[in-house]
Amino acid sequence: MKIKTDAPFDMIVIGASGDLAQRKLLPALYFLHKHGDLSPTGRIIGVARHEWTQDEFLRTAEASCRKYLDQGDFSDDDWSSFARRLHYLALAATEPESYADLARLLAQDGEDAERRARIFYLATPPDLYGSISHAIAAAGLITSGARIVLEKPIGSDLDSAAAINASVGEVFPEDRIYRIDHYLGKETVQNLMALRFGNALFEPMWRSEHVDHVQITVAETLGVEGRGAYYDQSGALRDMVQNHLLQLLCLVAMEPPSRLAQDAIREEKIKVLRSLRPIEGEDLARKTVRGQYREGAIAGQSVVGYLEEPDTDPASGTETFVALKAEVDNWRWAGVPFYLRTGKRMGHRVSEIIIQFRRVPHLLFTDQANAIQDNRLVIRLQPDESIKLALMIKTPGAGMALRRVHLNLNMAETFEERPALAYERLLMDVIRGNATLFMHRTEVEEAWRWIDTILEGWEARGDRPRYYNAGTWGPPESIALVVRDERAWYEHLV
C-alpha cells in the first residue's frame, strides 16, 4: 500500500550540509518526490552555518543524491522538479536572531502558515538539540503544526539524554517530538510485528517453553567512514546497541500491544527495557565482549585498522564491536538468553534476528538423533530481506531419513513493490503526524539506564577491547560467549 500525503509542509533540515542530511535525508526526500508521495506545495529548507548560495547547495545535494541512490533511480527530470522544492539559508541555529531570513521565507505562506506542518529536523550534534529548540522558540517559529525530529544518539548516557529531553521538552510537548531510530523504519522490522501478531501460529510458541534463545546480529563491512571524531567518543555500544539493537530486542520480546497505536506499542517496549537484567560485577567478563578492528581485508580490498582511521585517537580504547548476553527478567522470557552482536569491518554486511526453538520433547527417530536439528526462524533485515523457517522433513524414497529444509519467503521475489527506504517511511510519518515508529522519551532513557551500567562497569574494570582483524566475525571471545552456554552463533550453525 502506498502512503501519500496531501498535507502541506515545510521541512527545515538543520545541519543540511552534514553527512546525515546528504547521505540519507535528501536521497529519501528525492524518492518521495519522484514517486509523487509529497504534497505539491511541500518545501524542504536546508539550513547550516555554511555560507553557501542556493546554487552551491543544489549542486551538493544533487551530487549526494546521485552518489547515494542506486543508478537508475536518479533522473535529471525528477531532479529538476525536486530541486524546485529546495531552499537553502545560512544561519547559526543556536542564535535566535539568526532566524530572520527563515522566518521571512516561512511567512510567505501568509495565513496558511498555521495549517502547514512545520517540521524542524535536527541533523546536528545532539548536545545542540536543547539550545536549537530554544532558539527556534525565541525566534517565534513554533506554530500549532510545528514538530521536531531528533536523530540518535540522544545523549551519551542517561544524564545527558535526560537533560536533552528536558530541554527540548520545555519548548515542544512530547507528542510533537519525533525521536528517530531508523531501524524502526525498515520494512522487515515492521514485518516482525506482522509476523508475531498477524499469525496465530507463532505467538503461542513465542516464549521460554519453546524458545531456546534469540540472536540479534547487525554486522557491517563499513568502517567509521569519516566519522572518526564522533565515533571515537561513542563506540559500538552507544552507537548501535543503545538504540537499534535494543529496539529490535524490544520488538521481539514485547507483549502483544492492545492496539496498533503509538502509546500502546511504546508502553510494551518500555516494559521490556525495564525487565532487562543489569549486567554488572563478575557478569561483565562473562556476558560482554568488546572488540576493535585491526587492519585486514574486506571483499579482497585491504583496509586500515581503527587506530589508523582519520580523527581517531591512536591509543583509543573505543570498541568497534560488541557482543552481549542480555536477559529479560519476566514471565515470558525467564531463562532465554538474547545474544546481541554488532560490529564494524566484519566479514559480511548482514542484519538478522534468529529465534532458535527448543528440541522436540521426545525423539521418535532414535536412529537419527544426530540428524534432528531444532527449528529456527531467521528474519533477515538486510541485505535481501527474507524470513526463513527451518523445518525437518523426510527425504523422498524408501526408509525414514530426515533432513532440514527451509520455508523461505524472499521479500523481493514475493512482492513487486519496491520496499521503501527506512528514512522515506519515517519522513512520511513525520509529515503525516504519526509517531508510532518513533521513540518516547522514557524508552530512550530506560535504554540508557541499562547501557550506563555496562559502560560504568567497563570503566571501573579498565576494560580494553580485544582486537579482531577487519573482515572477520569479531574477536574469538565473542565465540566463547555463546559456546560457554553450549550454543553457537548462527553462521556456525548453518
Q: Give the residue with the Cβ less far from ligand BG6, 287 or 344.
A: 344
- Closest to 9 measured CA to CA, from 28, 37, 48: 37
Residue 68: partners with Cβ closer than 8 Å, 6 or more residues away? 22, 23, 24, 27
Q: Which is nearer to ligand BG6, 24 or 116 (CB)?
A: 24
Q: How far apart are CA 307 and CA 275, in angstroms?
A: 36
Instruction: Report, in Å, the least distance between residue 220 CB and ligand BG6.
Output: 5
Residue nearest to ligand BG6 (CB): 239
Opening angle at CA 185, ends 38 and 409, nearest 5: 110
- Residue closer to ligand BG6 (CB basis): 222 or 480: 222
Q: Report strand pairing: 296-298 vs 301-303.
A: antiparallel
Integer angstrom CA distances of residue 53 from 30, 57, 80, 163: 20, 6, 17, 35
CB closer to ligand BG6 out of 145 and 235: 235
Q: Helices 26-34 and 76-83 meet at what angle, rounded to 10?
A: 110
Minimum Å distance from CB 399 to ligand BG6?
46
Q: Whole-angstrom Cα distance, residue 84 to residue 362? A: 67
Is there binding between residue 62 and ligand BG6 (CB under 6 A)?
Answer: no
Nearest distance, CB of residue 222 and ligand BG6, angstroms: 6
User: Which residues, listed in sequence order, are joined to residue 214 by a DSSP beta bridge?
Assistant: 338, 355
99: nearest Cα among 203, 12, 17, 173: 12
Closer Cβ to ligand BG6, 239 or 309, answer by number:
239
Determine if 220 is a binding residue for ligand BG6 (CB under 6 A). Answer: yes
| Nearest residue (CB) to ligand BG6, 220 versus 446 | 220
87 is catalytic: no
Closest CA relative to residue 138, chosen from 176, 100, 169: 100
| String marking each residue 174-213 x if it binds ligand BG6 according to CB under 6 A | ----------------------------------------
Q: Using the rule CB under 6 A, is 352 a contact of ligand BG6?
A: no
CB of 331 to ligand BG6, least distance (A): 32
Backbone angles phi, psi at 370, to 5 degrees: -75, -20
Residue list 98-157, contact with ligand BG6 (CB under 6 A): 152
Contacts with ligand BG6: how many residues (CB under 6 A)? Answer: 4
Compute the least distance from the CB of residue 239 to ligand BG6, in Å.
5
Return the residue matching grid coordinates 538478522.
352
- Residue 310 beta carbon to ligand BG6: minimum distance, rounded to whole angstroms: 15
With beta carbons less than 8 A apart as the criterion, state whether 383 and 186 touch: no
For 49, residues 6+ apart whose C-beta sits below 8 A from its C-beta are 17, 90, 91, 92, 93
Q: Which candidate in 33, 87, 182, 244 is catalytic?
A: 244
Rounded distance between C-alpha atoms, residue 134 and residue 136, angstroms: 5
**Which C-beta is closer to ligand BG6: that of 349 or that of 404?**
349
CB of 67 closer than 8 Å to CB of 27: no
Q: Mark 233-262 with x for binding to ligand BG6 (rule: CB under 6 A) and - for no binding.
A: ------x-----------------------
Kindly state the smallest distance separating residue 369's Cβ from ligand BG6, in Å.
39
Q: Report d(CA 16, CA 124) in Å as an integer.
A: 9
What is the smallest separation between the CB atom of 126 and ligand BG6, expressed in angstroms?
12
Q: Which is nearer to ligand BG6, 320 or 356 (CB)?
A: 320
CB 9 within 8 A of CB 118: yes
Site residues for ligand BG6, 449-468, by CB under 6 A, read none
Q: Which residues bind ligand BG6 (CB under 6 A)?
A: 152, 220, 222, 239
Q: Which residues are catalytic?
A: 244
